[in-house]
């Protein structure tokens, strides 16, 4: 339903939608969920969380010409298993595993990679090692692009995450806040060192 609403309002952006929790435990589950999103909502890309243990799912989707955005680092659908909302890849072993996972999701056919709550240096290293674009959220300025959760960037949460800035503060409207975010990213003033790990 929500993806269909977004599709109706889009003019030029690519519609990428998260596969919901537990809809991609197996390649068959993922194909069924993705096919429904593509057919019923006009989705152009699906996003899924996880690295090496998702290779068969990524391959199955891309074999059927469904573009995939992989997601590494902090995985919101697995936050309880990860011990909370914690920065990932801080130690050498974690960083090496994340780099390997990034290379593997690319080899499996992912077209895009989101890096969430990853040290800025590691995100830059991963970006340099890949041929697919990276999108950072709490991953510093070295990714190919940036994304934020709208209610975080609009100051609607009780505590603004470290990697975020309240773009609505001082803005005349929500539209102006989004425009300020786009400008800040394009000019390279966001994210700054204070937003990185």
Q: Give residue 61's pLDDT.
A: 99
Spell out a b/e string for 63-85, using b for 16 or more CB atoms within 10 Å of the CB, else e.
eeebbbbbbbbbbebeeeeeeee
Q: Is residue 116 flagged as an active site residue? A: yes
Domain segments of the chain as ranges: 2-146, 148-197
Rounded to an integer, the average pLDDT of 106-121 is 98
23 CB burial (10 A radius; 0-12, 13-18, 19+): middle
C-alpha neighbours within 13 Å on the C-beta side of residue 53: 6
Q: Give residue 147's pLDDT.
A: 97
Q: How do residues 23-45 score in pLDDT, each as one tens digit?
A: 999 999 999 999 999 999 999 99
Rounded to an integer, the average pLDDT of 70-79 is 96
Q: Give residue 54's pLDDT.
A: 97
The 3-state DSSP class for residue 159 equals: coil
Q: One of 40, 49, 116, 172 is an active-site residue; which one?
A: 116
Using a pLDDT cut of 70, give the percent of the chain over it. 100
Using a pLDDT cut of 90, give the percent of the chain over it. 93
Contact 72, 58 (CB under 8 A): no
Q: Give residue 7's pLDDT.
A: 94
Q: How do residues 134-164 score in pLDDT, each as one tens digit?
A: 999 999 999 999 999 999 999 998 888 999 9
Right CATH for 2-146 from 3.20.20.60, 3.30.70.260, 3.40.50.620, 3.40.50.300 = 3.20.20.60
Q: Give residue 25's pLDDT.
A: 97
Q: Give residue 26's pLDDT.
A: 98
Count of other CB atoms within 10 angstroms of residue 186: 10
């Amino acid at each position: 339903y929500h993806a269909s609403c977004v599709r109706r309002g889009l003019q030029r952006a690519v519609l990428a939608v998260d596969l919901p929790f537990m809809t991609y435990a197996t390649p068959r589950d993922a194909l069924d969920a993705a096919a429904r999103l593509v057919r019923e909502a006009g989705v152009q890309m699906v996003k899924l969380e996880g690295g090496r243990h998702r290779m068969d799912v990524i391959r199955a989707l891309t074999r059927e010409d469904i573009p995939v955005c992989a997601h590494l680092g902090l995985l919101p659908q697995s936050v309880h298993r990860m011990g909370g909302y914690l920065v990932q890849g801080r130690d050498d072993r974690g960083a090496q595993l994340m780099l390997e996972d990034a290379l593997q999701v690319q080899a499996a056919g992912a077209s895009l990679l989101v890096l969430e709550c990853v040290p800025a240096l590691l995100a830059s290293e991963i970006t340099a090692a890949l041929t697919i674009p990276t999108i950072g959220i709490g991953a510093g300025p070295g990714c190919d692009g940036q994304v934020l959760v709208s209610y975080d960037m609009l100051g609607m949460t009780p505590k603004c995450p470290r990697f975020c800035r309240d773009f609505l503060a001082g803005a005349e409207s929500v539209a102006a806040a989004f425009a300020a975010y786009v400008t800040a990213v394009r000019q390279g003033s966001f994210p700054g060192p204070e937003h990185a790990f």
